[in-house]
A and B are shown apart, each in its own frame.
Chain A
């Protein structure tokens, strides 16, 4: 039903989002094209900050670290999530219980995730840390880069694989039994069943999972901050943390703002991919 008065219903949302998003964004864009010396002295500098930001070597290394991290995350969490989804029972009373169990890591405040792994992986008080030390490994995630990365990866896998698993599970339960029956009669192996019956049905769900994990991992801040603080040195400083340190610590508004705008545009691109993929699924239903 076509009715432009429906805008009234949307008005409250627009107001809130304008307040929360539009005004701040405009502020950021504003700062990104000016050089601000103090409250009264501002010079329009055009795209200077952008150029400077893109050439910033610390930004570039943070970006590389981020890309490596996000790639590893996807490579680990997507296959594992699918495997976990396939291991879940499809019917029966226990299904709800398993889903709740899987959902637990998703409900924990992100800083507590960091704290849990701090308590777990520290060589002095942590079960994992102490066990590794006893086994002869010289393990310390605050001192060694490799240790820090491995611990971060283990933590993120622990934190987010359930999301992929739950999404994949939703996709798998939508497959009618007859498809499995037909494949069994054909004599298909388990791998063939996965490849020809399940995977085609999972593509839409997996696209959503990949994009969500990609976007969220690209914005990751709290967990690595709590666990390693970005260290040792810079080795686990990713984009969000670098931006935050620029914006809050150093009061360099211009470059921070330019960085913010670029960062936002990248995520916007990923989001657009997500949206078109979801809309395509919706139309296909």
Chain B
């Protein structure tokens, strides 16, 4: 129907972008300059804050740690969710609806509830302060979500495809890897997006389960008070850097996203 946006949309996008603009603005200025004067545009823009982050091991390791556990989490979630989603979409078995609901409820669990037990559990098995610990802990939320999204996409592939492959004489694994998975790559894209999105943004569990060696960027940012106070410029630069991976991911899956939303899976 309409191809041009209403003016409200422009207003809303201004609302969304102004604080981000301010973030970018501060990231390009020196801390002293920030505290000294308020200006809409940096008078002497520089990437010094970014350089500080890349060179200072505290910051750069924070980023690397975060990217590591997010990647591990995404891989584990996919590996584990694919067979489960396949089972849910293609077969009926005892207790399948109850299991599905229970899985869903895990996604909705308040992280705060799991703080204490996670801390004790992971300490007890020696996984405290590792990437794997955070990745596994995040699985609590990302795996059910992955199963749910993938099941939805798989359900839209007609069973006749399975039949045809079987009649053609292909083995089940051939069918799965060469035919089925490519057919749902939109769903895999959406899943990667949501796993990434949840794991990358989470603070509470990531903070609880890490100490100094696996400290994620989100923790570094919240604990960045030094003797001379907070370095707002570096903080802002770190903030900008944490937005970039998300932007990249959504750009790559943007077409799949709209379809994914339309299926009612969030």
Contact = CB atoms under 8 A, between A and B. Distances in A.
Interface of A: 1-10, 12-13, 16-17, 19-21, 23-25, 27-28, 31, 80, 83-84, 86-92, 94, 96, 98-112, 115-117, 119-120, 124-128, 130, 158, 161-163, 166-167, 169-170, 173-174, 177, 180, 204-205, 208, 212, 215, 218-219, 221-222, 225-226, 239-240, 243-244, 247-248, 253, 256-257, 260-261, 263-264, 267-268, 270-272, 274-275, 278, 281-282
Interface string B73-86: 00010011101101
Contacts of A253: 116
B250 A103 contact: yes
A275 B137 CA distance: 23
Could you tell me the dominant secondary structure of chain A's interface residues?
helix
Contacts of B86: 9
B144 interface: yes
B261 A107 contact: no
Given A110-B201, A116-B239, A257-B116, A20 B16 contact: no
A111 B23 contact: no
Given A115-B236, A243-B113, A256-B116, 19 more contacts: A5-B93, A6-B92, A9-B84, A13-B80, A20-B140, A84-B9, A91-B2, A96-B255, A100-B251, A103-B257, A108-B242, A109-B203, A110-B202, A119-B239, A120-B22, A128-B19, A208-B266, A218-B110, A268-B108
B167 interface: no
B112 interface: yes
Most buried by B among A3, A9, A169: A9
A13 B84 contact: yes
Given A16-B139, A105-B16, A271-B108, A6 B90 contact: yes
A47 B203 CA distance: 32
CB-CB nearest 5 A-B residue pairs: A107-B246, A9-B87, A24-B117, A87-B6, A6-B91
B116 A28 contact: yes
Contact of A27 (B76, B120, B262): B120
A100 B117 contact: no
B38 A125 contact: yes
Main secondary structure of the interface of B (DSSP, over half): helix
B121 A170 contact: no
A249 to B, nearest CB: 11
Interface residues of B, number: 95
Interface hub of A109, A239, A247 (most chain B Cβ within 10 A): A109
B264 A104 contact: no
Given A110-B203, A119-B26, A271-B105, A23 B35 contact: no
A107 B250 contact: yes
B247 A20 contact: no
